[in-house]
Amino acid sequence: MENQLRQAQKMEAMGQLTGGIAHDFNNILQGISGSLEVMGMLGAHGQPERAEKHLRNALESVKRAASLTHRLLAFARRQSLDPQPIDVVALLSSMTELLRQTMGEQISLELGLSSDLWGVHCDTNQLENAILNLAINARDAMPNGGRLRIDAENALGHDPEKIDTEAPEQPYVRITITDTGVGMSDETRQRAFDPFYTTKAAGEGTGLGLSMVYGFARQSRGYCTIDSEPDEGTSVKLYLPRYISKVQHAPVPERVNKPHFV
Ligand code: ADP
């Protein structure tokens, strides 16, 4: 439980930090971008070819940096959510083609969708993003091919932050994404949800994928766990609370089928 709490505090602090950095960085970039454009015009009167080449490179860097700050800002704002009732089976079915394309030819895709799955209530785009993020991580962990399996089933679970209380288990829809990839070391498994923690080469990983999935799960009153063994594979489980619609069935009339007490 302490771990989860630390995780939440860390997320909060990182969110504030990245928000500050991104804002300042964007202002600076706007200044650079403006000056470069002016220099471009001046260059036209001196050594136009050289000036133009350098300026093009510089403007390219500015664009790359701006795209980084946009991603940081999106992370810091931590997604304003628009929760709606969702049929997870329909959502996963609609993502099948995208997932197949993302996996490529060397990775097979299996779906195990329970036929009587409960509904959930969360942001559809964020749920899609979370599933896609987890699938991309799985793909990256299987450079020589393998199997990706996605299961969705009804399950009881304990919110890890409430595990010390006497609270009974709660009903969740559990989405499990399992791969047969390289797996994680103990250290990676423990740090995987940390913002900016990545074992990928510079430029290939941001270290934000799993922390965003974690943040989304917490904001949706669910949670997320990782089971992983080096060289065996990884299973990430996303627990989202069961959604019970407010629509009530008509009440059975008092007297019907009931013993009558005077
Ligand atoms: P990124 O993918 O950009 O590195 P993530 O937050 O998504 O950032 O993941 C953090 C780290 O967790 C990855 O760098 C990798 O070491 C590990 N990881 C995540 N998913 C898997 C997986 N399915 N199999 C093995 N390692 C994984």
Looking at per-residue pLDDT, the higher value among 18 and 231 belongs to: 231
Average pLDDT of the residues in 226-241: 97
Band of the pLDDT at 7, cuts 50, 70, 90?
A: low
Average pLDDT of the residues in 57-81: 69
Band of the pLDDT at 148, cuts 50, 70, 90?
A: very high
Whether the CB of 209 sits within 6 Å of ligand 1:
yes
**Best probe residue, ligand 1, of 210, 227, 228, 235 (max atoms within 8 Å of C-beta):** 210
Looking at per-residue pLDDT, the higher value among 15 and 141 belongs to: 141
- Residue 186 clears pLDDT 50, i.e. is over it: yes
Q: What is the CA radius of gyration of the chain?
A: 24
CA distance 196 to 211: 8
- Residue 252 clears pLDDT 80, i.e. is over it: no
pTM above 0.90, yes or no: no
Whether the CB of 129 sits within 6 Å of ligand 1:
no
Q: How far is CA 53 from the centre of its chain?
A: 39
Per-residue pLDDT, 16: 63
Distance from Cα 194 to the centre of ligand 1, integer Å: 10
Per-residue pLDDT, 39: 76
Q: b vs e for 20-45, b when ≥16 Cβ sit within 10 Å of the residue's Cβ? A: eebeebbeebeeeeeebeeebeebee
Whether the CB of 188 sits within 6 Å of ligand 1:
yes
Average pLDDT of the residues in 160-187: 90
- Residue 213 clears pLDDT 70, i.e. is over it: yes
**Strand 119-123 versus strand 233-243 pairing type:** antiparallel
- Residue 27 clears pLDDT 70, i.e. is over it: no
Per-residue pLDDT, 110: 97
Please write the tens of the pLDDT for every residue from 103-135.
999 999 999 999 999 999 999 988 998 999 999
Whether the CB of 207 sits within 6 Å of ligand 1:
yes
Per-residue pLDDT, 255: 44
Point out the least confidently predicted range of 73-82, 120-129, 213-222, 246-255: 246-255
The answer to whether ipTM exceeds 0.90 is yes
